[in-house]
Amino acid sequence: MDIPLVEERPFRYRIDRRDPMRVPGVVFATPELLPQATGDKALEQVVNVATLPGIVRASFAMPDVHWGYGFPIGGVAATDVDAGGVISPGGVGFDISCGVRLLAAGIDREPLAPKMRRLMDILGDTIPRGMGRGGLWKLSGPAQMEDLLVGGAGYAVEHGHGVPRDLDRCEDRGALPGADPSHVGRRAVERGLEQVGSLGSGNHFLEVQAVDRVYDEDTAARFGLHDGQVCVMIHCGSRGLGHQVCGDHVRVMDQSLRAYGIRLPDRQLACAPVVSPPGRDYLGAMAAAANYGRANRQLLAEAARRAFATAAGAGLDLVYDVSHNTAKIETHEVDGARRSLCVHRKGATLALPPGHPDLPRDLAGAGQPVLVPGTMGTASYVMTGTAGNDAFASACHGAGRVWSRHQALRRVRGEQLRDDLESHGIAVRPSSWRGLAEEAPGAYKDIDAVARATEGAGLARPVARLVPLGVVKG
DNA sequence: ATGTCC
């Protein structure tokens, strides 16, 4: 199916509403970044999402949009809670609260260079990763899990895994409110007990990076960043626990569609009204899984701190921790009225503008750090939220896949990729050759083009560009 | 993304 696009202005395309769409689609992109050019079905998914009950303004797609489960990855959809608006697990994603944490090291790349080998060896030996496997913090049982699911990163800090200042630099201070562990199933809890503090696999990683360009000195300084500085970027989520929560609630909602009179073009959009038992149950379970993901990143950051202390005698200050797979109840102005919305961001990053009340005080003038990981061979970006973002304060979350994992495996060999990266001065500590090949830089869109489009579309603006020095791959 | 099919 060919989706007609109207170029409203550079970096912004509209898909006109036609039945059964309730709102138009809006795709932020350049011609090169449009998924039609890359042969995936993401634009059909943008259209499908536009049919959801209660959706307002538009079904949005970020410049890194690509095909996903039901909703596109890089999609943003807000539904009106008080007008029959729905919540859909597919609009959050299987990896609930998957997100990025950036830490700024008290060392620059030149003095770190002679110590990099040892640092990477320690990280490679101590960061749990890969399918299954264990985590850094084995919980005592379901009772302790319940506390972690409510407390998130703060619960980890209370138990000595980090410092209180970390929470100042976490979205929602490290815990999404409304977590209800009673709707996290037994199997989800079991899967999660031994995975707190682990990367997982796929596109997850821990990278040592360096700032190679600063676009805005003042904002970078407020974020604690300067040219040449070493950073650590962590990308991971809620592991088997979040996956199980998503699957469990998709099944329930799929069975309740008829009862709520919801008709969908794709069963993967399974949903329920926010104000319904299945809707509320999922939101409570999703918040709990989100808090698991946030605690997970807190534990991994602590492991990175230990490695830096040992190998480099340097500390790591948290710049920010932000999720890009969530649904949050937020207040936004729509058609001149303040409305309570359920904002689904799936592969899309919250991007609060300067002055937003949810920002920590010392970032009020700078805006929220928007963390945009590239690939292991290319740059990553630190951006900041801007005023006038009509996609409910959302921005891109990464480069966005263009090759399927299968295509990547046909084109790339893991050992060869490792050699290529090492020859470019990037140290690699893989978890599997196959996993490495699937995540080859060529499998992704051009991150610099994605960042330019994100800025051009008025979603966020660049603050600093980071380049990889070493990657610990999930 | 995911004990890559309970």
Residues by CB within 7 Å of nucleic chain B, which ones? Answer: A 69, 94-95, 98, 131-132, 187, 190-191, 195, 200-204, 236-237, 239-240, 243-244, 439, 474
Q: How far apart are CA A417 and CA A411, in angstroms?
A: 11
Å from A343 (CA) to B4 (C1')?
29
The pair of structure tokens assigned to A432 is 């599997």
The DSSP H or E segment spanning A23 is none
Å from A6 (CA) to B1 (C1')?
33
| Predicted pLDDT at A1 | 67
Q: How far apart are CA A425 and CA A106, in angstroms?
A: 21
Vertex A94, ends A91 and A96: CA angle to 5°?
A: 80
Residue with tokens 């970032």: A363
Find the residue closest to B1 using CA and C1' atoms.
Answer: A95
Å from A237 (CA) to B1 (C1')?
8
Q: How far apart are CA A451 and CA A446, in angstroms?
A: 9
Å from A384 (CA) to B5 (C1')?
42
* Residue type at A90 in one-letter notation: G
3-state secondary structure at position A94: coil
Q: What is the dihedral of CA A410, A412, A415, A416, to 10 degrees?
A: 140
Q: How far apart are CA A290 and CA A211, in angstroms?
A: 29
Report which DSSP code applies to A380: E
Q: Which nucleotide is nearest to A435 (CA to C1')?
A: B4
Residue with tokens 């919980």: A139
Q: Provide the residue range defining the domain that includes A213.
A: 6-473
Q: Which nucleotide is nearest to A434 (CA to C1')?
A: B4
Q: How far apart are CA A318 and CA A316, in angstroms?
A: 7
| Predicted pLDDT at A200 | 98
| Predicted pLDDT at A35 | 86
Å from A334 (CA) to B3 (C1')?
44
DSSP β-bridge partners for residue A292: none
Residue A1 forms part of a structural domain: no
3-state secondary structure at position A277: helix
Check: CB of residue A318 under 8 Å from CB of residue A217: no
Q: Which nucleotide is nearest to A238 (CA to C1')?
A: B1
Find the residue closest to B4 using CA and C1' atoms.
Answer: A131
Residue A236 forms part of a structural domain: yes
Question: Which sequence positions of A are flagged as catalytic?
Answer: 397
Residue A109 forms part of a structural domain: yes
pTM over 0.85: yes
> Domain of A66: which CATH number?
3.90.1860.10
Residue A33 forms part of a structural domain: yes
Vertex A255, ends A177 and A22: CA angle to 5°?
A: 70
The pair of structure tokens assigned to A278 is 């299945």
Å from A340 (CA) to B2 (C1')?
33
Residue A458 forms part of a structural domain: yes
From first to last of the 474 residues of chain A, give the pLDDT tens digit.
689 999 999 999 999 999 999 999 999 999 999 987 656 899 999 999 999 999 999 999 999 999 999 999 999 999 999 999 999 999 999 999 999 999 999 999 999 999 999 999 999 999 999 998 899 999 999 999 999 999 999 999 999 999 999 999 999 999 999 999 999 999 999 999 999 999 999 999 999 999 999 999 999 999 999 999 999 999 999 999 999 999 999 999 999 999 999 999 999 999 999 999 999 999 999 999 999 999 999 999 999 999 999 999 999 999 999 999 999 999 999 999 999 999 999 999 999 999 999 999 999 999 999 999 999 999 999 999 999 999 999 999 999 999 999 999 999 999 999 999 999 999 999 999 999 999 999 999 999 999 999 999 999 999 999 999 999 999
For residue A74, give Cα distances in angstroms to A45, A67, A245: 11, 9, 21
Residue length, chain A?
Answer: 474
Check: CB of residue A153 under 8 Å from CB of residue A166: yes
For residue A425, give Cα distances in angstroms to A72, A122, A245, A377, A422: 34, 18, 40, 10, 5
**Number of domains comprising chain A:** 1
DSSP β-bridge partners for residue A104: A231, A317
Check: CB of residue A175 under 8 Å from CB of residue A151: yes
Q: Which nucleotides of B are covered by protein (CB under 7 A)?
A: 1-4
Residue A245 forms part of a structural domain: yes
Q: Which nucleotide is nearest to A401 (CA to C1')?
A: B1
| Predicted pLDDT at A40 | 85
Residues 6+ apart with CB under 8 A from A335: none
Residue with tokens 């469990």: A248
Q: Which is nearest to A211 in space by CA: A108, A360, A348?
A: A108
The pair of structure tokens assigned to A28 is 């932020």
Report which DSSP code applies to A44: H
Q: Which nucleotide is nearest to A94 (CA to C1')?
A: B1
Q: How far apart are CA A298 and CA A167, in angstroms?
A: 10
| Predicted pLDDT at A428 | 98
Report which DSSP code applies to A2: P
Residue A35 forms part of a structural domain: yes
